[in-house]
């Protein structure tokens, strides 16, 4: 009995780990086939991700938004919802927060920073809750509504920073936020800086963990995710929890966008969204929708990407990094296969 228990407890960690190891092996084979030395390539990758102060800073700065969007998507998954709209939610959150932040020139930091964070989360929450409401009230599948809302958010943002909310100079970016609203930096080296935003992301991991595991809301959300009708039979309101889950998910995504504004760009840029919203899906998948797992998954992806520039200096194409990420995702998604292999292996051992 205890052997099985151990299997279950470790499985969530082992599956992704095996997937990562296999993916690095496959990528190494690819590298050998194209005539590059995997050892130097991985050495360069490691150096680019951890080797210098600048590398670590770059790594952590990349991980911060990934943790948050990963949490956003992962939380949605726990409620049985596919939140593909993290991109739109973070854009709306960032846009609103930037607007508020740019008006707070006379506010002290202990007012402006919390205010911007709250506004950013509210913006994302509203955008997410919209899709949630459409599902609860009309049955509209959240995959479609969130993707459509993504486009709407992008076009709203484009319109706004090219017109009413454009910084002088004719470039599509907003005016800067107030100096007091900037997130403090931990370290500054060369041309890069490490924003304290990473603490916000880590705090979010803890908060999400508490919500999911320790609160009634988390219980209800999980119940709706496992089996909506059973939950309803038990007295839990499906529609309320669907909207709530999408709102929390959107709030996390909005926080991701806001942190990018407060810690990196200090304004809303046309390309603020980037691939963060969709990377959140990847991160949630690799992290198995568990807050701690998501944090690790975010650092894994950020390390790989941070190391990619040193790998390119070592002569290995940036596409190898994309291959590595792709194989990890493929294998994690196919973790049933890995699970089955593990069961076979166990059977093999027991038979002997």
Partner 1 sequence: MKKYVVALLALVLIMSTIGAAVTVFFVTDTGGLGDKSFNDSAWAGVQMAVKKFGITANVIQSYEQADYIPNLTAAAQVSDVVIAVGFMMQDALAKVAPQFPNTKFIFIDGVVKAPNVENFLFKEQEGAFLVGYLAAGVTKTGKVGFIGGIPIPPVLRYQYGYEAGVETYNVLNGANVQVLSGYVGSFDDPAAGKSMTNSQFSEGADIVFAAAGLSGLGTIEAAKDAGPGHFAIGVDQNQDYLAPGFVLTSAMKRVNIAVFDGIKSVVNGTFKGGTTVLGLKEDGVGISPMTYTKQYVPKSLLSQLKVLEKAIISGKLVVPNTKESFQSFQVPAIQF
Size of the site for partner 1 (CB under 8 A): 33
> Which of the 8 DSSP states describes residue 114?
H
62 binds partner 1 (CB under 8 A): yes
Tokens encoding 161: 């920073």
Closest CA to 187 of 47, 65, 62, 58: 58
Which residues have a Cβ under 8 Å from the Cβ of 121 and sit 6 or more positions away?
93, 251, 252, 254, 255, 258
Q: How far is CA 47 from CA 117, 234, 306, in A?
A: 34, 53, 9
Nearest approach, Cβ of residue 92 and partner 1 (Å): 15
Nearest approach, Cβ of residue 101 and partner 1 (Å): 18
Ordered DSSP codes for 179-206: GGGSPPEEEEETTEEEETHHHHHHHHHH
* Shorter beta-carbon distance to partner 1: residue 242 or 272: 272
* Shorter beta-carbon distance to partner 1: residue 60 or 125: 60
User: Among 130-138, 169-177, 243-251, 343-351, which window interacts with partner 1 (CB under 8 A)?
Assistant: 169-177
* Shorter beta-carbon distance to partner 1: residue 158 or 215: 158
Residue 186 and residue 210 in contact, taking contact as beta carbons nearer than 8 Å:
no
Q: What angle do CA 131, 226, 147 make, to 5 degrees?
A: 25
Q: Which of 61, 122, 130, 283 binds partner 1 (CB under 8 A)?
A: 61
Residue 94 and residue 120 in contact, taking contact as beta carbons nearer than 8 Å:
yes
Q: Which of 31, 41, 42, 58 binds partner 1 (CB under 8 A)?
A: 58
Q: Which of 37, 103, 192, 237 binds partner 1 (CB under 8 A)?
A: 192
Tokens encoding 303: 């390390």
184 binds partner 1 (CB under 8 A): no
Residue 65 and residue 276 in contact, taking contact as beta carbons nearer than 8 Å:
yes
Residues within window 259-318 making contact with partner 1, judged by CB under 8 A: 264, 269-272, 274-275, 305-306, 308-310, 312-313, 315, 317-318
Nearest approach, Cβ of residue 260 and partner 1 (Å): 8
Report the distance separating Cα 144 and Cα 164, nearest Å.
30
Contact flags string 13-52 toward partner 1, x per CB under 8 A: -----------------------------------x----
* Shorter beta-carbon distance to partner 1: residue 169 or 235: 169
Q: Which of 1, 33, 34, 191 binds partner 1 (CB under 8 A)?
A: 191
* Shorter beta-carbon distance to partner 1: residue 77 or 266: 266
Nearest approach, Cβ of residue 4 and partner 1 (Å): 43
Residue 250 and residue 125 in contact, taking contact as beta carbons nearer than 8 Å:
yes
Partners of residue 195 on adjacent β-strands: 185
Residue 101 and residue 112 in contact, taking contact as beta carbons nearer than 8 Å:
yes
170 binds partner 1 (CB under 8 A): yes
* Shorter beta-carbon distance to partner 1: residue 40 or 217: 40
Q: What angle do CA 306, 204, 335 make, to 5 degrees?
A: 65
Q: How far is CA 18 from CA 24, 194, 208, 319, in A?
A: 10, 31, 26, 22
Site of interaction with partner 1 (CB under 8 A): 48, 54-55, 58, 61-62, 154, 158, 162, 170-172, 190-192, 264, 269-272, 274-275, 305-306, 308-310, 312-313, 315, 317-318, 321
């Amino acid at each position: 009995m205890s052997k099985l228990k151990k299997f279950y407890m470790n499985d969530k960690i082992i599956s992704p780990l095996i997937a990562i190891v296999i993916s690095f092996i496959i990528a190494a084979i690819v590298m050998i086939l194209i005539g590059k030395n995997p050892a130097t390539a991985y050495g360069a990758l490691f150096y680019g991700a951890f080797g210098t102060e600048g590398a670590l800073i770059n790594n952590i700065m990349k991980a911060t938004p990934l943790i948050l969007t990963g949490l956003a998507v992962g939380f949605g998954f726990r409620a049985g919802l596919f939140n593909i709209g993290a991109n739109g939610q973070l854009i709306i959150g960032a846009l609103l927060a930037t607007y508020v932040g740019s008006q707070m020139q006379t506010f002290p930091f202990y007012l402006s920073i919390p205010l911007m964070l709250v506004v950013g989360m509210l913006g994302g929450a509203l955008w997410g809750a919209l899709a949630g409401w459409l599902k609860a009230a009309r049955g509209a599948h959240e995959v479609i509504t969130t993707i459509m809302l993504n486009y709407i958010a992008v076009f709203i943002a484009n319109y706004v920073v090219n017109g009413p909310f454009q910084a002088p100079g004719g470039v599509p970016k907003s005016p800067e936020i107030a100096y007091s609203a900037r997130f403090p930096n931990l370290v500054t080296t060369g041309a890069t800086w490490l924003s304290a935003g990473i603490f916000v992301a880590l705090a979010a991991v803890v908060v999400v963990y508490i919500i999911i595991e320790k609160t009634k809301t988390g219980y209800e959300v999980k119940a709706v995710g496992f089996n909506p009708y059973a939950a309803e039979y038990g007295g839990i309101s499906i529609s309320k929890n669907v909207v709530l889950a999408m709102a929390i998910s959107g709030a996390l995504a909005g926080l991701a966008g806001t942190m990018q504004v407060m810690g990196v760009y200090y304004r809303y840029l046309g390309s603020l969204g980037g691939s963060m919203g969709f990377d959140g899906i990847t991160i949630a998948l690799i992290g198995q929708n568990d807050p701690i797992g998501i944090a690790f998954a975010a650092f894994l992806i950020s390390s790989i990407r941070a190391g990619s520039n040193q790998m390119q200096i070592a002569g290995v194409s940036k596409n190898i990094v994309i291959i590595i990420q792709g194989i990890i995702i493929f294998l994690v998604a196919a973790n049933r296969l890995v699970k089955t292999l593990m069961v076979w292996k166990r059977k093999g051992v027991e038979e002997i």
